[in-house]
Amino acid sequence: MSDETQDDAEETQQLFDVFTIGENTFPNNMREHLDLQSKHIQDSFMEHPDLYSWYATAYELALDVELRLKAELDRTYAHCDANARQQAQAAGIKMTEKKVENVVITDDLYKQVQGEYLTAKRNTGLLRAGKDAMIHRRDMLIQMGANYRAEGNSDITLKQQQALTRK
């Protein structure tokens, strides 16, 4: 793997190590949060509402930041568009729509706001996936609990084995 490809891979991995919502950065613990172990099913049931609440709230906050940045990006585009047209008119240059668009999308301020918007959009997508995964986790917990009760009712040795492992 070339150094450039490896650097890109490391940068991409760092993007997934944290969630950034506005100015706040949170560690990405999704892998641990989604882990289910039948030995700790009771703990999983008890912690699930907190985890779901965190992902749902973080998603909504990230969505708010994304929408605000989208509006800022649109305003920046309009401002850069007006400036490009005024400068071209003052210089006596006839501008086509494509030329104006090219001036706008290469403007440094526009590129900066666009980068912030795309980062916010990525974070929103990751948190939406986390929230959706928590819904699937809940369904899996319900199924595991039903299976556990069915096994427990049919085999008394399972209850005895569990009691021994707790000691």
- pLDDT, tens digit, 9 for 90 and up, residues 37-89: 666 777 777 888 888 888 899 999 999 999 999 999 999 999 999 999 999 99
pLDDT of residue 164: 64
Do residues 110 and 76 touch, judged by C-beta distance below 8 A? Answer: yes
Domain range holding 158? 10-34+61-166
Residue 4 in domain: no
pLDDT of residue 144: 83
What gap in Å lies between CA 33 and CA 138, rounded to an integer?
12
Give tens-digit pLDDT for 108-154: 999 999 999 999 999 999 999 999 998 998 888 888 888 877 766 66
Residue 56 in domain: no
What gap in Å lies between CA 110 and CA 101, rounded to an integer?
11
Residue 1 in domain: no
Residue 47 in domain: no
pLDDT of residue 98: 96
What is the total count of domains within the chain?
A: 1
CA dihedral sign, ordered 56, 62, 64, 67: negative
